[in-house]
């Protein structure tokens, strides 16, 4: 029983990282932009938040946790939105190929993050020496009114924020005028344009807002998942790709992404909790494939069922140019 609880707790923490990532990507993809820069944006958000908190904590005599938290949040949001803005400018204004731009953004993000991560390691006096204890503590503190929720209690506030954001974005997409306009832009931009919806505006806004949410995943990873330090092990990138897979698994619906992310977490950590089996490193890796295998199975099942509601936005990955004939 305790084993099961431990597995679920680990899954919730793990799931929250990719839930942010894929929620942001769902919003982005609803506008017809396929941003494969998710890992890169998570890197940007993570490193910017860490850098902000690190500089604050090393300059302040007695760091105030709440101030560190706000600085980290602001830095993460700004950096990841900048990533989204670069992507938007290249693909929407200059109409560059979306796949190439996204992949490049991933490489760019990981490069930038590792560069600054390395530099901060040096300033802190060695690899793994970065510590933003006060800020990270603030991120990991459970809001008092949220205790006593069983397996859901004892998580950092961002885990709850992710669920709230998922509910909000689902309501936004399905219940509001702007949400309807956004969906139309991703499905059929020429139609949305003819109906008086600003296609460029919606694409820019959705991509930047999506990137901001995605970047929060990176911040959560840094502050909560690895407890406020920097590791050069490509962990964020791995989770970033899982977030992209989760978008497909959730069939572009934020609420499905919530349970999907926790399911991915369970599947990812399953190998540690299989009773009576101790696995060596190579067989562990086989188990870590499970989320991807499940995604493939979902893809197969969805394409057999062929329901129109489960398909990606029809114009996903394509540029839009009004006067093209």
Residues lying near another protein in the complex (CB under 8 A):
175-181, 183-184, 187-188, 190-198, 308-309, 311, 314, 322-323, 325
Please check whether residue 169 is in contact with residue 27, taking contact to mean a CB–CB distance below 8 angstroms.
yes
Report d(CA 185, CA 313) in Å as an integer: 9
- Residues in the chain, total: 325
Nearer to another protein, 160 or 172 (CB): 172
Report d(CA 177, CA 192) in Å as an integer: 12
Report the nearest approach of another protein to the CB of residue 26 (Å).
15
Report the nearest approach of another protein to the CB of residue 30 (Å).
12
Nearer to another protein, 138 or 316 (CB): 316
Report the nearest approach of another protein to the CB of residue 195 (Å).
3
Report the nearest approach of another protein to the CB of residue 254 (Å).
17
Nearer to another protein, 177 or 281 (CB): 177
84 burial class (0-12, 13-18, 19+ CB within 10 angstroms)? buried
Any idea which residue has 């459970």 for tokens?
142
Nearer to another protein, 180 or 270 (CB): 180
Report the nearest approach of another protein to the CB of residue 313 (Å).
9
Classify 319 as helix, strand or coil: coil
Please check whether residue 79 is in contact with residue 45, taking contact to mean a CB–CB distance below 8 angstroms.
yes
Nearer to another protein, 187 or 290 (CB): 187
Segment (H or E) for 215: helix 199-220
Q: What is the DSSP letter of 143?
A: P
Please check whether residue 9 is in contact with residue 150, taking contact to mean a CB–CB distance below 8 angstroms.
no
Please check whether residue 288 is in contact with residue 238, taking contact to mean a CB–CB distance below 8 angstroms.
no
3-class secondary structure for 270-311?
A: HHHHCCCCCCCHHHHHHHHCHHHHHHHHHHHHHHHHCCHHHC
Nearer to another protein, 280 or 323 (CB): 323
Segment (H or E) for 177: helix 177-187
Report the nearest approach of another protein to the CB of residue 176 (Å).
5
Nearer to another protein, 51 or 248 (CB): 248
Report the nearest approach of another protein to the CB of residue 180 (Å).
6
Tokens of 52: 């902000």
């Amino acid at each position: 029983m305790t084993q099961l609880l431990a597995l679920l707790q680990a899954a919730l923490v793990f799931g929250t990282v990719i839930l942010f990532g894929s929620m942001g990507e769902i919003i982005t993809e609803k506008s017809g932009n396929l941003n494969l820069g998710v890992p890169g944006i998570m890197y940007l958000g993570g490193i910017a938040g860490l850098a902000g908190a690190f500089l604050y904590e090393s300059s302040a005599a007695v760091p105030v946790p709440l101030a560190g938290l706000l600085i980290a949040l602001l830095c993460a949001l700004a950096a990841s939105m900048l990533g989204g803005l670069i992507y938007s400018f290249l693909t929407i204004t200059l109409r560059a190929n979306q796949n190439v731009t996204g992949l490049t953004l991933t490489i760019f993000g990981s490069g930038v993050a590792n560069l600054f991560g390395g530099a901060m390691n040096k300033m802190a006096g060695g690899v793994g020496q970065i510590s933003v204890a006060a800020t990270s503590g603030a991120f990991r503190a459970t809001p008092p009114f949220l205790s006593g929720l069983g397996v859901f209690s004892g998580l950092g506030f961002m885990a709850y924020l992710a669920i709230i954001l998922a509910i909000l974005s689902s309501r936004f997409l399905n219940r509001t005028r702007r949400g309807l306009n956004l969906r139309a832009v991703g499905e059929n931009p020429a139609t949305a344009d003819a109906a008086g919806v600003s296609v460029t505006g919606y694409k820019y806004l959705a991509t930047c807002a999506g990137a901001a949410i995605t970047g929060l995943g990176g911040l959560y990873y840094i502050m909560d998942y690895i407890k406020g330090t920097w590791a050069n092990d490509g962990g964020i990138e791995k989770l970033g790709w899982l977030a992209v897979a989760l978008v497909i698994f959730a069939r572009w619906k934020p609420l499905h992404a919530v349970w999907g992310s926790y399911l991915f977490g369970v599947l990812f950590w399953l190998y540690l909790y299989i009773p009576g089996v101790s696995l060596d490193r190579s067989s562990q890796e086989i188990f870590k494939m499970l989320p991807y295998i499940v995604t493939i199975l979902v893809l197969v099942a969805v394409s057999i069922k062929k329901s129109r509601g489960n398909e990606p936005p029809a114009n996903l990955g394509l540029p839009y140019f009004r006067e093209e004939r």
